């Protein structure tokens, strides 16, 4: 290709990455360019190959992965063809990497100062020790961290998550590279820290004219940060374009689904999509999305669509771009709380909870009625998990009253009656650890019934019914959790919680560990079940936009205190508390770009 | 600095724990020896001894006093350096055992000086050359040898090098009384070799596993992505993080020797405390048994303590947590 | 608040492709490896020798076949490998000598397994006071090397089989307890244990059905390690001269008592050495197979 734009910082052409040894493709036919000062968001769900592409820009492949074919050009350097010494030099001076998890990527045995200085030393930046020290000071202030000797002498574990991530940024920008690859750097950070980090990234990139490749699964972040976006599915880029255009008018059906599934405070609906992306080695000849696509035809299955430019700068790999499927059978359903009764289904009165003597929840009052969903929103450290676990009987150190209907609940689940335990059920965050791996799905789901006194045959029948209810098949009962995907496991966990027909369901961050599309399906499922079974649902989350799609009422918790409560719409659009206002302002959303 | 205060407190606490453990061990050891089904005095003098001499011996040995008195008396002796007399040898234990302790310590020292560096190097090298032929062959060989009991290793060496196949090394040690163990270095070769061969396979595998875990970690990848030369990656990034477990391993090593010494000395007739313990057990020489057991237990406890403290000092995360 | 109901759901499984069968457990994965199979074969052969050898022995256990340490051909009665200490037939003594060691080692390990697992699980699940107390007791037992504990007990009460089994078993308990506790501590934090607690399952039931199955990998490996060590320890004690019945055949004892005749007839030493060596290498190989299988499974799980 001879159109060497002078305005290209990094250019990836026809990149193919394989599993070492077997030749199975992880990523294929990837073409990307980024201009200096531009942020390109590389979006995809887990397993799409996006992290692998990010690492390839540094000429790095993890164990078992081979960079098989293609070019990565940064300026004049062909990253994939460089020798060892040249490659080492390029890493840091030409291109650098900001890791996903700074708590493991920073060496726990070395002080911050050392870790910053050494990247300058490796590349002999500045020519002298004094120059390097000055640079450390400079870059620390750029990322808004103190550059005092005391701070620099700290070890990574003595910093907060946000501070660790900024050190990661500082290390990346230290030698003034022309390209930076950021791999989901705000995972695990709370909303306000995330907002700060993103602002810093944007400022630094623009100030120093650095091209950034931002790898993430979070559409809202990308919408607010990136200039251009590339969407990956099953190892291939299926759409590219400017952020504004792409989010406003998605061309590829998958992109459309992603946007529809993303939580957003303006649009209340979250539409999920069943199925999962084909794993490496199981990718069909034709379009890999065809199996899940409503628009798919025989032509789609025959061969993978070629790249098409549908507008200037807009590239899609689909034979039916911009087509919107007809959705005729959707019925708007109003959620109706069950006729108000005198007592609430769940009532929390003046509860104070502590964690090993340290008080984390202060005098909280709330209640949930049947048929209603209350979202308990807070960032990490707000006490929401301690509170929800106390309600579930999993945490004992609390005072106050928790009432199930008109009955007082004992602090520990063991001290509650069997009936009480079965009337209030809990769904956990991590689907990979909430099911006993050595027990079949059927046995796990049947436990509450067996405890409630049902016979084995009776229990088996109800289990089958419940599995169908959560949109799995009764046949799943004989499988083991290892054989199920994350979304399926979470459905099983929900089935287990609902099989004894509880009145109250506590959902503790149940979608945080799931991909966007799966997350939306689970939220849909929960909404449906709540309506059909008349559940009183307490939905604990840190994700504010998610709340808009599922909850009638919202209670905001900060530092263990209830700062605001009320109907969702009111709180989200007319927040009263300062904390809530800040939280909403710091939360990125797709609608920020498209409205 | 507040750092150091916290670490000192930790050391003090750990030390206290060690002392308490030894105290309890001493109680157990003493209680076990108090539960004799028969009368030690009679056992020593034989069945036909007359009552008077038995009674005299009983008094001399202090067997007529209460258990509490006997225990405190014994404990005081142990701590002040006068553990009393051996039943059997009719002489103060320290005279009887003194040389042997020196001999055993020398053997332990030699074995440690060879096996610790060897294990560290071998484990580290195999970790770097992971999954290559070298690593596979060495790992399998180490596995086989690690499974063998030490005396079997010893006998095999004796069969091969001493008695049947070649005749290069002596099968029995010939250190005389009053001479230092270094007087017969050729005789030291086999006992040392057996101890080393017993320890190295096991310990190098632990080192290898620990190194591999470090080499696979995110911060090592990050260092490479920063453009660090490989030598710096290993020296500055990998090594400090691998050290913690290594200290535990060294403690394991020494503890292993404390036990192995018994069998090895028996095998080669090496005049050390292992042999003395075995002999004492045979004739129920209680004071000697008590003394030797406490010596070995102290070695065990002290090395574990040292290893724990060293691990904390070397791991910044643990060190600063002490604040 | 409105919810948009999707099209009527027909159950669409998330994975329309072929569902894999249940991933095999540690034991099955281990037995696919050559090392486990080879180890198992070796162990089986030696166990057969040890247990049933006595029924095909040419002479009686204490029968004299000639002068001591005479090579084959120079003994009064015909022998395969000559005579041993006190004029016994080497081959006969060898065929008789495995059982005492094997039985004692297996019994001791089994005892330690049951007690150690219980202690480890209880300590891990209860944390807090009980955990501290139990682990301190374990530490005291661990303060002495196993061979020394055995020697102390033997010096007091003499060497009976029951005593040896008890001593070796009890001194192994803390080693197993530590490993089980270590593995169980990470299981206790997983949500399925909390799920069981929220249903009010009894503590004992949680130990047995939630914790135990999920530490079985580590347990298997450690049990095997302990068995290998116990075999070495018990034959070592015999080698030092401490056996229940000095006249009975015992591989460890044989090595010791036939040492003096090494120059004239080495078979009295060589055969038991080979046997013990092969037995321990065999169990070591099987254990290594388990260990790799467990690690491989853990690694695969981590890729979710």
- Each residue of A20-68: pLDDT tens digit? 888 888 999 999 999 999 999 999 988 888 999 999 999 999 888 999 9
How many helices and strands (H and E) does chain A possess? Answer: 22, 23
User: Token digits for A310?
Assistant: 């549908």
Inter-chain touch A432–C304, beta carbons under 8 Å: yes
Q: Is A416 on the interface with C (CB under 8 A)?
A: yes
pLDDT at B143: 87
The architecture (CATH level 2) of B2-36+83-321 comes to Orthogonal Bundle (1.10)
**Per-residue pLDDT at A340 exceeds 80:** no
Inter-chain touch C236–B33, beta carbons under 8 Å: no
Distances in Å between the Cα of A26 and the Cα atoms of A30, A207, A235, A289, C15 are: 11, 35, 6, 15, 19
Chain C: residue nearest A415 by CA? C200
DSSP secondary structure letter of residue A4? -
User: Token digits for A575?
Assistant: 């927040």
**Contacts with A74 from chain B: Cβ below 8 Å:** none
Inter-chain touch B143–C148, beta carbons under 8 Å: no
Cβ proximity of A519 and A272 under 8 Å: yes
Chain C: residue nearest A527 by CA? C3
pLDDT at B37: 53
Inter-chain touch B320–A97, beta carbons under 8 Å: no
Of C4, C22, C200, Cβ closest to residue A451: C200
B175 pLDDT tier (thresholds 50, 70, 90): low
User: Token digits for B80?
Assistant: 């002040």
**Contacts with B144 from chain C: Cβ below 8 Å:** 281, 284-285
User: Token digits for A58?
Assistant: 């540094």
Structural domain boundaries of chain C? 27-303
**Contacts with A90 from chain B: Cβ below 8 Å:** 227
**Contacts with B298 from chain C: Cβ below 8 Å:** none
pLDDT at A162: 86
Inter-chain touch C2–A426, beta carbons under 8 Å: no
DSSP secondary structure letter of residue B229? -
**Per-residue pLDDT at A105 exceeds 60:** yes
CATH classification (class only), C27-303: mainly alpha
B35 pLDDT tier (thresholds 50, 70, 90): low
B152 pLDDT tier (thresholds 50, 70, 90): very high
**Per-residue pLDDT at B40 exceeds 70:** no
**Contacts with A551 from chain C: Cβ below 8 Å:** 1
Inter-chain touch A333–C11, beta carbons under 8 Å: no
Environment class of C128 (CB within 10 Å of its CB; exposed 0-12, middle 13-18, buried 19+): exposed
Structural domain boundaries of chain B? 2-36+83-321
Q: What are phi and psi of A236, to 5 degrees?
A: -130, 150
Q: What is the pLDDT of residues B85-114, one digit of tens each?
A: 666 666 777 777 778 888 888 888 889 899
Inter-chain touch A118–B226, beta carbons under 8 Å: yes
pLDDT at C145: 86
DSSP secondary structure letter of residue C190? S
- Mean predicted lDDT score pLDDT of chain A: 89
Find the range with the poorest average confidence among A154-168, A570-584, B301-315: B301-315
**Separation between Cα atoms, residue C178 and residue C119, nearest integer Å:** 9
Strands lying side by side in the sheet with A77-78: A25-34, A10-19, A65-74, A77-78
**Separation between Cα atoms, residue B161 and residue B158, nearest integer Å:** 5
Angle between helix B273-283 and B93-128 (nearest 10): 130
Helix (H, G, I), strand (E, B) or coil at C11: coil
Chain C: residue nearest A437 by CA? C214
Which residues of A touch chain B, with CB atoms under 8 Å apart?
Answer: 58, 60, 62-63, 88-93, 96-97, 99, 101, 104-110, 118-119, 122-123, 155, 157-158, 171
C15 pLDDT tier (thresholds 50, 70, 90): very low
Helices (H), B46-92: 51-60, 67-80
Q: What is the pLDDT of residues A460-504, one digit of tens each?
A: 999 999 999 998 988 899 999 988 888 899 999 999 999 999 999
- Cα(first)–Cα(last) distance of chain C, in Å? 36
Q: What is the pLDDT of residues B220-234, one digit of tens each?
A: 999 999 989 988 888
Residue carrying the six token digits 């909403």: A584
pLDDT at C8: 35
Of B32, B37, B155, Cβ closest to residue C269: B155
Helix (H, G, I), strand (E, B) or coil at A306: coil
Inter-chain touch A482–C23, beta carbons under 8 Å: yes
pLDDT at B248: 78
Radius of gyration from C-alpha coordinates of chain A: 26
Percent of chain A whose pLDDT exceeds 70: 96
Inter-chain touch C262–B163, beta carbons under 8 Å: yes
Return the number of other C-beta atoms located less than 10 Å from residue C8's C-beta.
6
Q: What angle do CA A431, A433, A436 make, to 5 degrees?
A: 110
pLDDT at B62: 64
Instruction: Looking at the complex, report in whole angstroms how far the Cα of residue A154 sits from the nearest Cα belonging to chain B.
Output: 10
Inter-chain touch B300–C285, beta carbons under 8 Å: no
Q: b/e map of A242-272 (b: 16 or more CB within 10 Å)?
A: bbebbbeebbbbbbbbbbbbbbbbebbbbbb
Inter-chain touch A93–B228, beta carbons under 8 Å: no
**What is the DSSP secondary-structure string of A125-157?**
TTSSHHHHHHHHHHHHHHTT----HHHHT--GG
Which subunits count as partners of chain A given 3+ CB pairs below 8 Å? B, C
User: Token digits for A163?
Assistant: 């501070």
**Contacts with A330 from chain C: Cβ below 8 Å:** 4-7
Q: Is C263 on the interface with A (CB under 8 A)?
A: no
Of B150, B281, B300, Cβ closest to residue C144: B300
Q: What are phi and psi of A182, to 5 degrees?
A: -110, 125
CA A300 to chain centroid, in Å, comes to: 30
Helix (H, G, I), strand (E, B) or coil at C138: helix
**Per-residue pLDDT at B47 exceeds 90:** no
Inter-chain touch B259–C255, beta carbons under 8 Å: no
**Separation between Cα atoms, residue B309 and residue B307, nearest integer Å:** 5
**Separation between Cα atoms, residue B274 and residue B105, nearest integer Å:** 11
User: Token digits for C263?
Assistant: 């120059």
Q: What is the pLDDT of residues A304-334, one digit of tens each?
A: 888 888 888 889 998 888 888 776 444 444 4
Chain B: residue nearest A85 by CA? B229
**Separation between Cα atoms, residue A277 and residue A235, nearest integer Å:** 10
Instruction: Looking at the complex, report in whole angstroms how far the Cα of residue C127 sits from the nearest Cα belonging to chain A.
Output: 13
How large is the average pLDDT for residues B228-257?
A: 83
Helix (H, G, I), strand (E, B) or coil at C214: helix
Of A413, A476, A484, Cβ closest to residue C198: A413
**Separation between Cα atoms, residue A121 and residue A171, nearest integer Å:** 12
Of A437, A471, A493, Cβ closest to residue C9: A471
- Torsion angle defined by CA atoms of residues A89, A90, A92 and A94, in that order, rounded to the nearest 10 degrees: 140
Inter-chain touch C195–A418, beta carbons under 8 Å: no
Q: Provide CB contacts within 8 A for B260, sequence distance 6+.
A: B150, B194, B195, B198, B199
**Separation between Cα atoms, residue A224 and residue A592, nearest integer Å:** 7
Window 357-386 of A, Cβ < 8 Å to C: none
- What domains are defined for chain A? 2-94+177-277 (3.40.50.300), 106-176 (no CATH), 346-592 (3.40.50.300)
CA C2 to chain centroid, in Å, comes to: 63
How large is the average pLDDT for residues C251-264?
A: 88
Of A88, A91, A106, Cβ closest to residue B219: A106
Return the number of other C-beta atoms located less than 10 Å from residue B319's C-beta.
18
**Contacts with B312 from chain A: Cβ below 8 Å:** none
Cβ proximity of A593 and A244 under 8 Å: yes
**Contacts with C201 from chain A: Cβ below 8 Å:** 447, 451
Q: How many CB pairs under 8 A join A and B?
A: 73
Q: What angle do CA B90, B94, B95 make, to 5 degrees?
A: 65
**Separation between Cα atoms, residue B269 and residue B278, nearest integer Å:** 11
Of C152, C236, C255, Cβ closest to residue B289: C152
**Contacts with C266 from chain B: Cβ below 8 Å:** 159, 163-164
Cβ proximity of A254 and A294 under 8 Å: no
Q: b/e map of B249-260 (b: 16 or more CB within 10 Å)?
A: bbbbbbbbbbbb
**Separation between Cα atoms, residue A568 and residue A546, nearest integer Å:** 11
Q: What are phi and psi of A36, to 5 degrees?
A: -60, 140
Of B144, B277, B296, Cβ closest to residue C281: B144
Q: How many CB pairs under 8 A join A and C?
A: 141
Q: Provide CB contacts within 8 A for C10, sequence distance 6+.
A: none
Inter-chain touch C145–B296, beta carbons under 8 Å: yes
Window 196-225 of C, Cβ < 8 Å to A: 196-201, 209-210, 213-214
Q: Is A334 on the interface with C (CB under 8 A)?
A: yes
Q: Provide CB contacts within 8 A for B262, sequence distance 6+.
A: B274, B275, B277, B278, C147, C148, C151, C240
Chain A: residue nearest C21 by CA? A483
DSSP secondary structure letter of residue A483? G
Nearest to C152 by CA among B288, A149, A391: B288
Cβ proximity of A427 and A489 under 8 Å: no
Q: What is the pLDDT of residues A279-307, one digit of tens each?
A: 888 888 888 888 888 888 888 888 888 88
**Separation between Cα atoms, residue A168 and residue A192, nearest integer Å:** 18
Return the number of other C-beta atoms located less than 10 Å from residue A516's C-beta.
24
Give the length of chain A: 595
Chain C interface test: which of B281, B301, B307 (most C C-beta within 10 Å): B281
């Amino acid at each position: 290709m001879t159109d060497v734009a002078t305005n290209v910082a990094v250019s990836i052409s026809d990149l193919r990455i394989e599993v070492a040894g077997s030749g199975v493709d992880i990523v294929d036919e990837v073409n990307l360019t980024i201009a200096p000062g531009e942020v390109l968001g590389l979006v995809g769900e887990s397993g799409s190959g996006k992290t692998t592409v990010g690492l390839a820009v540094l000429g790095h492949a993890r164990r078992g992965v081979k960079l098989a074919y293609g070019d990565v050009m940064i300026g004049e350097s062909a990253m994939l063809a460089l020798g060892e010494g040249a490659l080492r030099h390029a890493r840091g001076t030409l291109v650098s990497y900001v890791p996903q998890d700074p708590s493991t990527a920073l060496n726990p045995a070395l002080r911050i100062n050392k870790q910053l200085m050494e990247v300058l030393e490796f590349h002999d930046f500045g020519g002298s020790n004094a120059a390097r020290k000055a640079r450390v000071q400079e870059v620390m202030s750029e990322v808004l961290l103190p550059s005092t000797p005391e701070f620099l002498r700290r070890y990574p574990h003595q910093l907060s998550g946000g501070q660790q991530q900024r050190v990661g940024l500082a290390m990346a920008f230290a030698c003034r590279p022309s390209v930076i690859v950021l791999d989901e750097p705000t995972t695990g950070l709370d909303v306000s820290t995330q907002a700060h980090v993103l602002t810093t990234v944007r400022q630094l990139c623009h100030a120093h004219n650095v091209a950034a490749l931002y790898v993430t699964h979070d559409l809202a972040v990308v919408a607010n940060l990136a200039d251009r976006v590339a969407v990956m599915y099953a190892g291939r880029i299926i759409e590219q374009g400017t952020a504004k255009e792409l989010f406003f008018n998605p061309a590829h059906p998958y992109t459309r689904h992603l946007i529809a599934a993303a939580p957003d405070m303006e649009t209340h609906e979250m539409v999920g999509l069943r199925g999962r992306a084909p794993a490496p080695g199981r990718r069909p000849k034709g379009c890999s999305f065809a199996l899940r696509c409503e628009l798919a035809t025989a032509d789609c299955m025959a061969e993978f669509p070629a790249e098409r430019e549908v507008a200037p700068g807009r590239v899609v790999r689909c034979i039916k771009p911009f087509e919107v499927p007809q959705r005729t059978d959707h019925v708007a359903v109003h959620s109706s709380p069950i006729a108000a009764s005198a007592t609430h289904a769940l009532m929390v009165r003046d509860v104070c909870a502590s964690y090993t003597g340290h008080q984390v929840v202060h005098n909280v009052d709330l209640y949930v009625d049947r048929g209603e969903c209350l979202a308990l929103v807070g960032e990490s450290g707000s006490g929401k998990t301690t509170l929800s676990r106390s309600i579930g009987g999993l945490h004992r150190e609390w005072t106050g009253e928790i009432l199930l209907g008109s009955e007082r609940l004992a602090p520990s689940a063991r001290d509650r009656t069997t009936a009480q335990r079965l009337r209030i059920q809990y769904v956990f965050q991590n689907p990979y650890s909430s099911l006993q791996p050595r027990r079949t799905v059927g046995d796990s789901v049947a436990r509450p019934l067996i405890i409630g006194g049902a016979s084995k045959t009776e229990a088996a029948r109800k289990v089958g019914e419940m599995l169908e209810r959560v949109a799995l098949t009764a046949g799943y009962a004989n499988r083991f959790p290892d054989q199920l995907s994350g979304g399926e496991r979470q459905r099983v966990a929900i089935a287990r919680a609902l099989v004894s027909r509880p009145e109250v369901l506590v959902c503790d961050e149940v979608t945080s560990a799931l991909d966007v599309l799966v997350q939306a399906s689970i939220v849909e499922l929960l909404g449906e079940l709540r309506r059909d079974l008349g559940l009183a649902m307490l939905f604990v989350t840190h994700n504010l936009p998610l709340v808009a799609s599922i909850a009638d009422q919202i209670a905001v918790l900060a530092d263990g205190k209830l700062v605001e409560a009320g109907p969702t719409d009111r709180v989200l659009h007319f927040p009263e508390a300062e904390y809530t206002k800040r939280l909403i302002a710091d939360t990125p959303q797709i609608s920020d770009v498209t409205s | 600095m507040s750092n150091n205060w916290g670490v000192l407190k930790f050391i003090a606490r750990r030390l206290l724990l060690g002392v308490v453990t030894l105290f309890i061990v001493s109680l157990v050891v003493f209680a076990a020896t108090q539960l004799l089904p028969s009368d030690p005095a009679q056992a020593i003098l034989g069945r036909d001894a007359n009552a008077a001499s038995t009674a005299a011996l009983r008094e001399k040995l202090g067997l007529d006093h209460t258990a509490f008195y006997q225990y405190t008396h014994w404990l005081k002796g142990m701590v002040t350096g006068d553990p009393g007399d051996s039943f059997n040898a009719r002489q103060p234990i320290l005279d009887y055992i003194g040389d042997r302790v020196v001999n055993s310590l020398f053997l332990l020292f030699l074995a440690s000086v060879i096996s610790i560096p060897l294990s560290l190097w071998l484990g580290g090298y195999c970790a770097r050359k992971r999954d290559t032929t070298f690593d596979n062959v060495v790992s399998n060989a180490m596995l086989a040898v690690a499974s063998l009991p030490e005396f079997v290793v010893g006998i095999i060496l004796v069969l091969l090098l001493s008695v049947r196949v070649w005749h290069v090394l002596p099968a029995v040690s010939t250190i005389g009384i009053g001479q230092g163990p270094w007087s017969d270095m050729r005789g030291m070769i086999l006992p040392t070799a057996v101890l080393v061969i017993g320890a190295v396979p096991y310990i190098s595998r632990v080192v290898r596993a620990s190194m591999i875990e470090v080499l696979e970690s995110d911060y090592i990848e990050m260092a490479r992505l920063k453009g660090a030369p490989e030598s710096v990656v290993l020296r500055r990034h990998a090594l400090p993080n691998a050290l913690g477990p290594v200290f535990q391993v060294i403690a394991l090593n020494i503890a292993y020797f404390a036990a192995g010494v018994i069998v090895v000395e028996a095998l080669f007739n090496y005049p050390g405390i292992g042999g003395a313990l075995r002999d004492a057990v045979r004739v129920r020489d209680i004071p000697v048994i008590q003394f030797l057991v406490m010596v070995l237990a102290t070695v065990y406890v002290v090395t574990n303590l040292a290893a724990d403290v060293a691990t904390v000092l070397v791991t910044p995360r643990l060190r600063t947590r002490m604040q | 608040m409105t919810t948009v109901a999707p099209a009527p759901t027909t159950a669409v499984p998330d994975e329309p492709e072929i569902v894999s069968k249940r991933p095999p457990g540690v034991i099955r994965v281990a037995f696919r490896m050559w090392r486990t199979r080879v180890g198992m074969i070796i162990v089986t052969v030696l166990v057969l020798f040890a247990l049933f050898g006595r029924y095909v022995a040419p002479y009686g256990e204490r029968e004299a076949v000639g002068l001591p340490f005479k090579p084959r051909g120079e003994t009064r009665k015909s022998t395969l490998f000559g005579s041993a200490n006190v004029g016994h037939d080497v081959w006969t003594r060898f065929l008789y000598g495995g059982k005492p060691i094997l039985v004692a080692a297996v019994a001791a390990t089994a005892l330690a397994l049951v007690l150690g697992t219980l202690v480890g699980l209880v300590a891990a699940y209860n944390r807090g006071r009980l955990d501290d107390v139990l682990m301190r007791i374990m530490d005291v037992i661990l303060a002495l090397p196993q061979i020394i504990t055995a020697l102390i007990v033997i010096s007091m009460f003499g060497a009976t089989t029951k005593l040896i089994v008890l001593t070796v078993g009890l001194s192994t308990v803390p080693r197993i307890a530590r490993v089980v506790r270590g593995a169980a501590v990470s299981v206790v934090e997983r949500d399925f244990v909390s799920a069981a607690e929220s249903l009010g399952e009894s503590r004992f039931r949680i130990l047995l059905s939630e914790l135990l199955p999920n530490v079985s990998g580590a347990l298997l490996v450690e049990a095997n390690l302990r068995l290998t060590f116990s075999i070495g320890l018990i034959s070592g004690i015999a080698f030092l001269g401490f056996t229940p019945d000095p006249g009975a055949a015992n591989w460890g004892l044989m090595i010791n008592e036939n040492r003096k005749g090494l120059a004239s007839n080495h078979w009295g030493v060589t055969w038991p050495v080979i046997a013990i060596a092969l037995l321990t290498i065999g169990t070591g190989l099987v254990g290594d197979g388990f260990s790799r299988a467990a690690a491989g499974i853990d690694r695969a799980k981590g890729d979710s």
